[in-house]
Amino acid sequence: MKKVEALIRHFKLEDVKEALSSRGVRGMTVTEVRGFGRQKGHTEKYRGAEYTVDFVPKIKIEVVVSDGDLAGALEAITTAARTGQVGDGKIFVSDLSAVVRIRTGETGDSAI
Amino acid sequence: MKKVEALIRHFKLEDVKEALSSRGVRGMTVTEVRGFGRQKGHTEKYRGAEYTVDFVPKIKIEVVVSDGDLAGALEAITTAARTGQVGDGKIFVSDLSAVVRIRTGETGDSAI
Amino acid sequence: MKKVEALIRHFKLEDVKEALSSRGVRGMTVTEVRGFGRQKGHTEKYRGAEYTVDFVPKIKIEVVVSDGDLAGALEAITTAARTGQVGDGKIFVSDLSAVVRIRTGETGDSAI
Amino acid sequence: MRNLGRRGVFLASLVWAALLVAAPVVAADVGTAAAGAETAAAADAPAAPAGPTVADLKIMADTVWVLVAGMLVFFMNLGFGCVESGFCREKNCVNILSKNFIVFAVSSIGFWFLGWGLMFGDGSGFVGTQGLWMVGGADNSPASGDAYSGVYTAINWATVPLWAKFFFQLVFCGTAATIVSGAVAERIKYHSFIVFSFIMAICIYPVVGHWIWGGGWLQSRGFVDFAGSTQVHSIGGWAALVGIIILGPRMGKYGDRGKVNAIPGHNLSLATIGCFVLWFGWFGFNPGSTMAVDPGAISEIVVTTNAAAAAGTLSATLVAWLLLGKPDLGMTLNGCLAGLVAITAPCAFVTVGASVIIGLIAGALVVFGVLFFDRMRCDDPVGATSVHLLNGVFGTLCVGLFATPDRIGRAANPEASAGLFYGGGLEQLITQLTGVVACAGYVIVTTVIAWLVLKQTMGIRVSAEEESQGLDIGEHGNTAYPNFVKELS
Amino acid sequence: MRNLGRRGVFLASLVWAALLVAAPVVAADVGTAAAGAETAAAADAPAAPAGPTVADLKIMADTVWVLVAGMLVFFMNLGFGCVESGFCREKNCVNILSKNFIVFAVSSIGFWFLGWGLMFGDGSGFVGTQGLWMVGGADNSPASGDAYSGVYTAINWATVPLWAKFFFQLVFCGTAATIVSGAVAERIKYHSFIVFSFIMAICIYPVVGHWIWGGGWLQSRGFVDFAGSTQVHSIGGWAALVGIIILGPRMGKYGDRGKVNAIPGHNLSLATIGCFVLWFGWFGFNPGSTMAVDPGAISEIVVTTNAAAAAGTLSATLVAWLLLGKPDLGMTLNGCLAGLVAITAPCAFVTVGASVIIGLIAGALVVFGVLFFDRMRCDDPVGATSVHLLNGVFGTLCVGLFATPDRIGRAANPEASAGLFYGGGLEQLITQLTGVVACAGYVIVTTVIAWLVLKQTMGIRVSAEEESQGLDIGEHGNTAYPNFVKELS
Amino acid sequence: MRNLGRRGVFLASLVWAALLVAAPVVAADVGTAAAGAETAAAADAPAAPAGPTVADLKIMADTVWVLVAGMLVFFMNLGFGCVESGFCREKNCVNILSKNFIVFAVSSIGFWFLGWGLMFGDGSGFVGTQGLWMVGGADNSPASGDAYSGVYTAINWATVPLWAKFFFQLVFCGTAATIVSGAVAERIKYHSFIVFSFIMAICIYPVVGHWIWGGGWLQSRGFVDFAGSTQVHSIGGWAALVGIIILGPRMGKYGDRGKVNAIPGHNLSLATIGCFVLWFGWFGFNPGSTMAVDPGAISEIVVTTNAAAAAGTLSATLVAWLLLGKPDLGMTLNGCLAGLVAITAPCAFVTVGASVIIGLIAGALVVFGVLFFDRMRCDDPVGATSVHLLNGVFGTLCVGLFATPDRIGRAANPEASAGLFYGGGLEQLITQLTGVVACAGYVIVTTVIAWLVLKQTMGIRVSAEEESQGLDIGEHGNTAYPNFVKELS
Ligand SMILES: Nc1ncnc2c1ncn2[C@@H]1O[C@H](COP(=O)(O)OP(=O)(O)O)[C@@H](O)[C@H]1O
Ligand SMILES: Nc1ncnc2c1ncn2[C@@H]1O[C@H](COP(=O)(O)OP(=O)(O)O)[C@@H](O)[C@H]1O
Ligand SMILES: Nc1ncnc2c1ncn2[C@@H]1O[C@H](COP(=O)(O)OP(=O)(O)O)[C@@H](O)[C@H]1O
Query: D80-102: per-residue pLDDT in tens?
Result: 999 999 999 999 999 999 999 99
Which of F263, F467, F478 has the most C C-beta neighbours within 10 Å, making it the best mutation to test the interface with C?
F478
Task: Decide if pLDDT at E182 tops 70.
Answer: yes
Task: Decide if pLDDT at D31 tops 70.
Answer: no
Q: Which residues on chain B place their C-beta less than 8 Å from a C-beta of chain E?
A: 44-51
User: According to the model, what pLDDT value does residue E484 have?
Assistant: 59
pLDDT grade, residue D51 (50/70/90)? confident
User: According to the model, what pLDDT value does residue D192 have?
Assistant: 97
Please tell me what DSSP assigns to residue E125: S
Q: Among the atoms of ligand 3, which is closest to the Cα of residue C85? A: 22
Cα of A112 from ligand 1 centre, angstroms: 27
Cα of B92 from ligand 1 centre, angstroms: 24
Average pLDDT (F109-124) is: 98
Contact flag C13-E489 (C-beta cutoff 8 Å): no
What's the CA gap between D332 and D272, in Å, rounded? 10
E260 contact residues in B (CB cutoff 8 A): 48-49
Residue with the bigger pLDDT between F48 and B73: it is B73
- Taking all residues of chain F, what is their mean pLDDT, rounded to a whole number? 91
Q: Are A74 and A26 in contact (CB under 8 A)?
A: no
Name residue B94's beta-bridge partners.
B3
User: According to the model, what pLDDT value does residue D6 have?
Assistant: 46
Query: E257-274: per-residue pLDDT in tens?
Result: 889 999 999 999 999 999
Query: A76-108: per-residue pLDDT in tens?
Result: 999 999 999 999 999 999 999 999 999 999 999
Query: F361-419: per-residue pLDDT in tens?
Result: 999 999 999 999 999 999 999 999 999 999 999 999 999 999 999 999 999 999 999 99
Helix axes F427-457, F205-212, angle to 10 degrees: 170
What's the CA gap between E48 and E67, in Å, rounded? 20
Instruction: Considering only the beta carbons, identify the residue of E26, E102, E170 that sits closest to F353.
Output: E26
What's the CA gap between D263 and D381, in Å, rounded? 8
Q: Among the atoms of ligand 2, which is closest to the Cα of residue B56? A: 25
User: According to the model, what pLDDT value does residue E412 have?
Assistant: 93
Closest-CA residue of C relative to F477 is C44
Task: Decide if pLDDT at A53 tops 90.
Answer: no
The Cα of A35 is separated from the nearest Cα of chain F by a number of Å equal to 21
User: According to the model, what pLDDT value does residue E380 have?
Assistant: 97
What's the CA gap between D70 and E298, in Å, rounded? 13
Cα of A27 from ligand 2 centre, angstroms: 5
Short-list D349, E410, D261, E475, CA closest to A44: E475
Least confident span in B40-44, D381-385, E266-270, F267-271: B40-44
- Taking all residues of chain C, what is their mean pLDDT, rounded to a whole number? 93
Residue with the bigger pLDDT between D36 and F157: it is F157
Closest-CA residue of A relative to C25 is A37
Name residue B52's beta-bridge partners.
B43
pLDDT grade, residue C49 (50/70/90)? confident
D322–chain C Cβ distance below 8 A for any pair: no
User: According to the model, what pLDDT value does residue B43 have?
Assistant: 84
Binding site membership of B72 for ligand 2 (Cβ less than 6 Å): no
Short-list E336, E354, E337, E363, CA closest to E300: E354
Query: Which range, D18-32, D365-379, F252-266, has the best average confidence (pLDDT)?
Result: D365-379
E482 contact residues in C (CB cutoff 8 A): none
Average pLDDT (E100-106) is: 98
The Cα of E461 is separated from the nearest Cα of chain A by a number of Å equal to 21
Task: Decide if pLDDT at C81 tops 70.
Answer: yes
**Which residues are within 8 A (CB) of E474 and not within 5 positions of it... i.e. 6 or more apart?**
E462, E463, E466
User: How many C-beta atoms surround the C-beta of residue D13 within 10 A?
Assistant: 11
Cα of A21 from ligand 1 centre, angstroms: 25
Name residue A8's beta-bridge partners.
A59
User: According to the model, what pLDDT value does residue D40 have?
Assistant: 38
D370 contact residues in C (CB cutoff 8 A): 47-48
User: According to the model, what pLDDT value does residue F484 have?
Assistant: 60
pLDDT grade, residue F42 (50/70/90)? very low
Query: D357-380: per-residue pLDDT in tens?
Result: 999 999 999 999 999 999 999 999
The Cα of F393 is separated from the nearest Cα of chain B by a number of Å equal to 50
Average pLDDT (E116-129) is: 97
The Cα of B81 is separated from the nearest Cα of chain F by a number of Å equal to 14
Average pLDDT (F52-58) is: 95
Short-list C47, D91, D267, CA closest to F480: D267
Query: F328-369: per-residue pLDDT in tens?
Result: 999 999 999 999 999 999 999 999 999 999 999 999 999 999
Q: Is the dihedral angle over the CA atoms A22, B88, B34, C102 positive or is it negative?
A: negative
Query: E216-268: per-residue pLDDT in tens?
Result: 999 999 999 999 999 999 999 999 999 999 999 999 999 988 899 999 999 99
Name residue C52's beta-bridge partners.
C43
Query: D142-195: per-residue pLDDT in tens?
Result: 999 999 999 999 999 999 999 999 999 999 999 999 999 999 999 999 999 999
D29 contact residues in E (CB cutoff 8 A): 353
Query: E9-21: per-residue pLDDT in tens?
Result: 444 454 554 555 4
Cα of A29 from ligand 3 centre, angstroms: 23
What's the CA gap between A85 and E469, in Å, rounded? 15
- Which subunits count as partners of chain E given 3+ CB pairs below 8 Å? A, B, C, D, F
Quick one: what percent of chain E has pLDDT higher than 90?
Answer: 86
Q: Are F401 and F352 in contact (CB under 8 A)?
A: no
Q: Are E112 and F307 in contact (CB under 8 A)?
A: yes
Cα of C10 from ligand 2 centre, angstroms: 30
User: According to the model, what pLDDT value does residue E487 have?
Assistant: 41
Query: E368-423: per-residue pLDDT in tens?
Result: 999 999 999 999 999 999 999 999 999 999 999 999 999 999 999 999 999 999 99
| Domain edges within chain C | 2-111
Ligand lying closest to the C-alpha of residue A10: 1
D168–chain E Cβ distance below 8 A for any pair: no
Task: Decide if pLDDT at E29 tops 70.
Answer: no
Average pLDDT (D212-229) is: 97
Quick one: what percent of chain F has pLDDT higher than 70?
Answer: 88
Task: Decide if pLDDT at D34 tops 60.
Answer: no
Q: How far is CA D145 from the centre of its chain?
A: 28
Average pLDDT (A30-34) is: 94
pLDDT grade, residue D292 (50/70/90)? very high
**Which residues are within 8 A (CB) of E229 and not within 5 positions of it... i.e. 6 or more apart?**
E341, E342, E344, E345, E346, E391, E392, E393, E394, E395, E396
pLDDT grade, residue E43 (50/70/90)? very low
Contact flag C90-B101 (C-beta cutoff 8 Å): yes
Query: F132-187: per-residue pLDDT in tens?
Result: 999 999 999 999 999 999 999 999 999 999 999 999 999 999 999 999 999 999 99
F349 contact residues in E (CB cutoff 8 A): none
Which of B91, B95, B96, B97 has the most A C-beta neighbours within 10 Å, making it the best mutation to test the interface with A?
B91
Q: Is the dihedral angle over the CA atoms E153, E159, E161, E166 positive or is it negative?
A: negative
What's the CA gap between B26 and B32, in Å, rounded? 20
- Taking all residues of chain D, what is their mean pLDDT, rounded to a whole number? 91
Ligand lying closest to the C-alpha of residue C12: 3
Task: Decide if pLDDT at D19 tops 70.
Answer: no
State residue B80 phi and psi, 5-degree precision: -75, -30
Write the burial class of residue E119 (CB in 10 Å: 0-12 exposed, 13-18 middle, 19+ buried): buried
Instruction: Considering only the beta carbons, identify the residue of D468, D478, D485 that sits closest to B45.
Output: D478
pLDDT grade, residue D484 (50/70/90)? low
Task: Decide if pLDDT at E356 tops 60.
Answer: yes
Residues in chain E: 489
What's the CA gap between F108 and F86, in Å, rounded? 25
E473 contact residues in A (CB cutoff 8 A): 42, 44
Short-list F284, F54, F308, F7, CA closest to F169: F284
User: How many C-beta atoms surround the C-beta of residue D46 within 10 A?
Assistant: 10
Q: Radius of gyration over alpha carbons of chain E, in Å? A: 23
Task: Decide if pLDDT at F489 tops 80.
Answer: no
Contact flag E293-D63 (C-beta cutoff 8 Å): yes
Task: Decide if pLDDT at D36 tops 70.
Answer: no
User: How many C-beta atoms surround the C-beta of residue F226 within 10 A?
Assistant: 25
D336–chain F Cβ distance below 8 A for any pair: yes
User: According to the model, what pLDDT value does residue D33 have?
Assistant: 42
User: β-strand B98-101 against C90-95: which pairing, if any?
Assistant: antiparallel
Average pLDDT (D422-444) is: 97
Ligand lying closest to the C-alpha of residue A25: 2
Closest-CA residue of A relative to E468 is A11
- Which subunits count as partners of chain A given 3+ CB pairs below 8 Å? B, C, D, E, F
Please tell me what DSSP assigns to residue D188: B
Short-list D482, A59, A5, CA closest to B33: A59
Which of A47, A50, A52 has the most F C-beta neighbours within 10 Å, making it the best mutation to test the interface with F?
A47
Instruction: Considering only the beta carbons, identify the residue of B34, B46, B55 that sits closest to D478.
Output: B46
Binding site membership of B37 for ligand 2 (Cβ less than 6 Å): yes
User: According to the model, what pLDDT value does residue F50 have?
Assistant: 64
Q: Could you please state the CATH topology (level 3) that the domain comprising B2-111 is classified under.
A: Alpha-Beta Plaits (3.30.70)
pLDDT grade, residue C48 (50/70/90)? confident
Task: Decide if pLDDT at F192 tops 70.
Answer: yes
Quick one: what percent of chain D has pLDDT higher than 90?
Answer: 86
